């Protein structure tokens, strides 16, 4: 169940997503929180960084891992405005993220609930608690408005 803290952190992720949109990137924002403290944040940058892996989640996880001096982030929560893709979900597993909170579903490429339901698979050696739909309308509107302007 989403908490008031979840909504507060998702607002921060939405602000990061807006930064990405200003740079012409698909507006997705993410942050990693451990013990109530933001330890990493990011927004989509594959175009500006010329890096296909520079998704918001990966940027946030890299920053958090550097902050902690460890590629594993046990006990941490990742907040992201849009349901993660396959690459990002796999990275969450490898980082041992305890909890994922996302905003809007991503019907085409989202793999938590929309497509592959990877969070429910039993073949992973780590289980992530998932909370979806937090500020989903705001997150979805950011993406819809972004693509509407590009058409």
Per-residue pLDDT of the chain (151 residues), as tens digits, is 999 999 999 999 999 999 999 999 999 999 999 999 999 999 999 999 999 999 999 999 999 999 999 999 999 999 999 999 999 999 999 999 999 999 999 999 999 999 999 999 999 999 999 999 999 999 999 999 999 888 7
Smallest CA-to-CA distance from 24 within 54, 44, 53, 41 is with 44
Decide: 22 and 7 in contact? Cβ < 8 Å: no
Decide: 143 and 104 in contact? Cβ < 8 Å: yes
Q: Note the pLDDT tens digit of each residue in 18-29.
A: 999 999 999 999
CA 22 from centre of chain: 18
User: Residue holding tokens 């289980």?
Assistant: 127
Smallest CA-to-CA distance from 40 within 78, 81, 83 is with 78
pTM given for the model: 0.97
User: Residue holding tokens 């902050």?
Assistant: 67
Whole-number Å distance between alpha carbons of 18 and 16 = 5
Supply the pLDDT for residue 128.
98
Torsion angle of C-alpha atoms 124, 77, 92, 75, degrees rounded to 10: -60
Enzyme catalytic residues: 57
* Helix, strand, or coil (residue 114): coil
Supply the pLDDT for residue 70.
98
């Amino acid at each position: 169940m989403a908490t008031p803290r979840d909504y507060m952190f998702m607002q921060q992720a939405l602000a990061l997503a807006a930064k990405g949109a200003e740079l012409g990137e698909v507006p997705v924002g993410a942050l990693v929180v451990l013990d109530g403290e933001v330890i990493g944040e990011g927004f989509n940058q594959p175009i500006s960084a010329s890096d296909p892996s520079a998704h918001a989640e990966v940027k946030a996880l890299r920053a958090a891992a550097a902050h902690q001096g460890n590629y594993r982030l046990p006990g941490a929560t990742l907040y992201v405005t849009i349901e993660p893709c396959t690459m990002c979900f796999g990275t969450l597993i490898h980082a041992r993220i305890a909890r994922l909170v996302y905003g809007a579903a991503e019907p085409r490429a989202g793999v938590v609930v929309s497509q592959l339901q990877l969070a429910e698979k039993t073949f992973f050696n780590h289980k992530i608690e998932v909370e979806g739909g937090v500020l989903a309308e705001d997150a979805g509107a950011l993406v819809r408005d972004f693509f509407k302007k590009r058409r």
